[in-house]
Amino acid sequence: MTGLSSRSSARLRGHNRWLLLIAGYKFFHALVFVAIGLGAHRLLHKDIADQVELLARHLRFNPESRLVSFILIKASLVNDPLLRRLGIFAFCYAALTLVEGIGLYLEKTWGEFITLAITASFLPWEIFEVVRRLTWVRVSLLTINILVFLYLLKLIADLGRARAHRMRHS
């Protein structure tokens, strides 16, 4: 087993628990975005303001409250073309996140690269959102994504060093 890299021998012992955790996180994201896509699809050809009003009544919110009034005003701006675009975006993002999760679960280098690139592409936006409005949810998501990014960067760098080491000694 001396010719195997540490990564290959780790695979023989079992899955990388951190990659499994990140994959689970990605699978959860995929489920959330499928739910958003399905919700957008279900709302097609319906009056969104009526649906919001029904939901507010069901949840026993005061229909005269500022929050419900604000949401009703925003809901009146939502139309079928916007819902279609939202649904398509949600399903596409769910598919991409599912591919990331599968790649990470299978411990494929391409999955690590895709996840690293996508995570890096969202970091500036997430930092902007935290600076714009500091909430514990935004800080938590930013922290998780920074940790995922750094872990995958380390994993990929270790893989590159192992390949370079093998090439020098071959």
Structure tokens at 76: 């009146």
pLDDT the model gives residue 57: 86
Locate tokens 């380390």: which residue? 154
pLDDT the model gives residue 97: 96
Residue 108 lies in a domain: yes
Residue 27 lies in a domain: yes
Instruction: Look at the chain and report how many structural domains it folds into.
Output: 1
Residue 4 lies in a domain: no
Residue 62 lies in a domain: no
pLDDT the model gives residue 157: 92
Alpha-carbon distance of 145 to 116, in angstroms, equals: 10
Cα angle, residue 69 at apex, residues 67 and 72 outer, rounded to 5°? 110
Can you give the residue range of the structural domain that contains 127? 15-43+78-168
Residue 128 lies in a domain: yes
Residue 52 lies in a domain: no
pLDDT the model gives residue 150: 95
Q: What are the residue ranges in the chain where pLDDT is below 70? A: 1-13
pLDDT the model gives residue 61: 86
pLDDT the model gives residue 7: 52
Exposed e or buried b for every residue in 60-96, given b needs 16+ CB within 10 A?
eeeeeeeebeebbeebeebeeeebeebbeebbebbeb
Total-model pTM: 0.77
Residue 10 lies in a domain: no
Alpha-carbon distance of 49 to 55, in angstroms, equals: 10
pLDDT the model gives residue 13: 59
